C-alpha cells in the first residue's frame, strides 16, 4: 500500500471532518426556536428566570464563544450536558449507543448473512425457478417500508399470538435478580425488532451478491476451472464466492461500522432506546448538545468507515494499490 495513498486519504478525511463539524454547529442554530421554547409555557417564567435558564444552557454567550466551546468539546469528547435529560451527554450517548449496538450487532450481520447466502443460492440456480422465487421475494421485501413491516410483525407476534412483548427493550420497572433473568427478558424483547431489522436489510444484499456472483460466473477463470473438471460446489466455494465478495466487502464493512448510529425506523416503532430514536427526539426538543454530539459521532464514524473501506479494499484488491 503506497504511503502516498494513505496520506492522501488522511488529508481528505481531515478536511471532511472539519467541514462536517462546522456544518453541524451552524445547521442547528439555524433552526427556529431554541430549547427554551419547549419550557416557556410550563414554568412561571420571568425574564430573570429565563435569563438564568439561558445561562444554564450556555445560550447567553455570543455565538463565536459558543462555537469555540463547541470545537473544544469535539476534540476533548466532553460534550456537555443534555438540555433535556440534564445528564452528561457522554454518558447518555454511551447508553444509547450500547442499546443500538445490541440491536444492530444482532440484526445487521444476520441480515447480511441471509442476503449473501441467498444471493449465492439464487445465482447458483440462475435462470431456474428457485432463483426466480428468491429474487422476486427479495425484491418485494425490499420494497416493504420498514416501519410497516415492523407494525405487521408486531401485530402478528405481539398482539395476536401474544408470544412476545410489544414494549421497549426490557420490561419497564422490573429488577432482575439474576443475570439470566435479565438476558431472558432482553432476548424476549429483542426478537421482533431484530427480525424486522434483518428482514429490512437483507434484500439489497441478496440482489447485489447475486449480481456479483453472476458476474464472476461468467469470468474466464471459472470457465477454465470447469473445463479442468472442477465440481460445482467446490468451484463455488473456492473460486466464485471469494471473488464475488470483493465488491461488496466494502459495503459490508461500512454497514457494520455505522451500526451504532441506530436504525431509526425500527427504534422509533419499537421504542428501543437507541441512537436513532435519540437523534430524532433531540431535534424536536432542540437539545443542542445531544444533537451536536450525536451528529459529530456519526460523521466521525462514517468518515472512519470510508477510510477503512478504502484501505481494506486497497489491501484486498491488488489492482487498486498497485495501479
Partner 1 sequence: MESINTHEQLRKRERELKRQKIRNNLHLFFGNKRAVFGVLLLSFFIIMALLGPYFYKYDHFSYYLGPRVGKPTPEFRLGFDEMGRDVLGTVIYGTRASLAIGLSVTFIVVLIGATLGIASGYFGGIIDIFIMRVTEAISIIPTIPLILTLSAIIGQNFQNIIVILGVTSWTGTCKLIRSQTLTIKQRNYVERAKAIGAGNTYIMRKHILPNVFPLIFSNIILTVQGSIMAESTLAFLGVGDPSIPTWGQLLRSAREQGAITTGSWWLFIPAGLCLVALASSFVFIGYGFDEINNPKLRRR
Partner 2 sequence: MKRILALLLIGAMFLTGCATQPTTPAPTPEQTPAEQTPAEQTPVAEAPEGPIIFRYGIRDSWPDSMNPLLSALGISQTFYHDNMYETLIGLDAELNMEARLAESWETSEDGLTWTFHLRKDVKWHDGEEFDADDVVYSYQVNKDLELPRFFASVKDFTEVKKVDDYTVQLVTAEPKANIMDAMIDLVPEHIFSQYKTKDDMLAFANESPIGTGAFIFVEDAKDGFVRYKANDDYWNGRPVIDELVYVYFSNADTLIQALEKGEIDFCGVGAAQQDYVKGLANITMHYFDSNAFNELGFNCWDDPASKGNPLMRDVKIRNAIGYAIDYDKIVDYAMGGLASKQAQLLPEVTGKWSWKVPDDIRVDYDPEKAKQILEEAGYSDRDGDGIREDASGNKLEFRMSIIESDYRDCALVVEQSLKDVGIKTNIEFMDTGRLSDIIYSQDFDTDMYMWGWYARYSDPSYILSAMTTDQIGNRSDCFYSNPEYDQLYVQQTKTIDMEERVKIVHKMQEIIYRDSPYLILYNAKRINAYNNERWENFVEYPAFGGGNLFNYYSKLQVRPKQ
Closer of 46 and 76 to partner 2 (Cβ):
46
Q: Phi and psi at residue 229, in whole multiples of 5°?
A: 100, 10
Q: How far apart are CA 312 and CA 323, in angstroms?
A: 15
Interatomic CA distance for residues 85 and 290, integer angstroms: 10
Cell of 3: 504511503
Q: Which does 46 bind (CB under 5 to 8 A by kind): partner 1, partner 2, none?
A: partner 2
Backbone angles phi, psi at 224, to 5 degrees: -60, -50
Residue with cell 466521525: 300
Pick out residues in 110-139 that bind partner 1 (CB under 8 A). Answer: 126-127, 132, 135-136, 139
Q: Is 264 in the site for partner 1 (CB under 8 A)?
A: yes
User: CA 294 to CA 100: how far, in whole Å?
Assistant: 13
Rounded to an integer, what distance in angstroms lies between the CA atom of residue 245 and that of residue 5?
Answer: 23
Shortest approach of partner 1 to residue 47 CB, angstroms?
26
Nearest one of 149, 135, 139 to 107, comparing CA atoms: 149
Nearer to partner 2, 53 or 207 (CB): 53
* Residue environment code for 231-243, b if the CB has 16+ CB neighbours within 10 A, otherwise e: eeeebbeebbbeb
What character string, x for contact with partner 1 (CB under 8 A) and - otherwise, covers 39-78? Answer: ----------------------------------------
14 lies in the site for partner 1, by CB under 8 A: no
Report the distance separating Cα 208 and Cα 99, nearest Å: 29
Q: Is 317 in the site for partner 1 (CB under 8 A)?
A: no
Find the part of the chain contacting partner 1 (CB under 8 A) among 1-9, 106-114, 247-255, 258-266. 258-266
Name the residue nearer to partner 1 (CB basis): 11 or 315: 11
Burial class of residue 205 (count of CB atoms within 10 Å of its CB; 0-12, 13-18, 19+) = buried
Is 142 among the residues that bind partner 1 (CB under 8 A)?
Answer: yes
> Residue 113 CB, nearest distance to partner 1 (Å)?
22
How far apart CA 67 and CA 220 sit, in angstroms, is 58
Q: State the nearest-atom distance from the C-beta of 278 to partner 1, in Å.
A: 10
Q: Is 155 one of the binding residues for partner 1 (CB under 8 A)?
A: yes
| Interacting residue ranges for partner 1, rule: CB under 8 A | 12, 15-16, 19-20, 23, 27-28, 30-33, 126-127, 132, 135-136, 139-140, 142-148, 151-152, 154-155, 158-159, 166, 207, 211, 214-215, 217-218, 261, 264-265, 268-269, 276, 279-280, 283-284, 291, 294-295, 298-299, 302-303, 306
Amino acid at each position: 500500500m503506497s504511503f502516498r495513498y494513505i496520506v492522501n486519504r488522511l488529508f481528505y478525511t481531515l478536511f471532511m471532518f472539519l467541514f462536517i463539524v462546522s456544518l453541524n454547529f451552524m445547521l442547528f442554530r439555524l433552526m427556529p426556536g431554541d430549547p427554551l421554547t419547549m419550557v416557556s409555557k410550563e414554568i412561571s417564567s420571568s425574564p430573570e428566570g429565563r435569563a438564568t435558564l439561558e445561562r444554564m444552557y450556555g445560550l447567553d454567550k455570543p455565538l463565536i464563544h459558543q462555537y469555540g466551546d463547541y470545537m473544544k468539546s469535539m476534540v476533548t469528547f466532553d460534550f456537555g450536558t443534555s438540555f433535556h435529560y440534564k445528564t452528561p451527554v457522554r454518558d447518555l450517548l454511551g447508553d444509547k449507543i450500547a442499546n443500538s449496538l445490541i440491536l444492530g450487532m444482532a440484526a445487521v450481520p444476520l441480515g447480511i448473512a441471509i442476503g449473501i447466502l441467498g444471493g449465492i443460492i439464487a445465482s447458483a440456480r440462475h435462470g431456474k425457478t428457485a432463483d426466480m422465487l428468491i429474487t422476486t421475494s427479495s425484491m418485494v421485501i425490499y420494497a416493504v417500508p420498514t416501519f410497516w413491516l415492523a407494525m405487521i410483525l408486531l401485530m402478528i407476534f405481539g398482539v395476536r399470538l401474544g408470544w412476545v412483548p410489544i414494549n421497549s427493550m426490557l420490561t419497564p420497572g422490573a429488577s432482575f435478580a439474576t443475570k439470566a433473568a435479565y438476558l431472558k427478558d432482553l432476548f424476549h424483547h429483542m426478537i421482533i425488532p431484530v427480525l424486522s431489522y434483518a428482514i429490512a436489510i437483507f434484500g439489497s444484499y441478496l440482489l447485489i451478491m447475486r449480481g456479483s456472483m453472476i458476474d464472476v460466473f461468467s469470468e474466464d477463470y471459472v470457465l477454465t476451472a470447469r473445463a479442468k473438471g472442477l465440481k460445482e460446489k467446490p468451484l463455488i466455494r473456492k473460486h466464485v464466492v471469494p471473488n464475488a465478495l470483493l465488491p461488496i466487502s466494502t459495503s459490508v464493512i461500512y454497514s457494520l461500522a455505522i451500526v451504532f448510529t441506530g436504525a431509526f425506523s425500527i427504534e422509533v416503532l419499537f421504542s428501543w432506546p437507541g441512537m436513532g430514536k435519540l437523534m430524532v427526539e433531540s431535534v424536536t426538543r432542540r437539545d443542542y448538545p445531544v444533537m451536536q454530539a450525536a451528529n459529530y459521532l456519526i460523521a466521525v464514524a462514517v468518515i472512519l468507515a470510508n477510510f477503512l473501506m478504502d484501505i481494506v479494499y486497497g489491501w484486498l484488491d491488488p489492482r487498486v494499490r498497485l495501479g
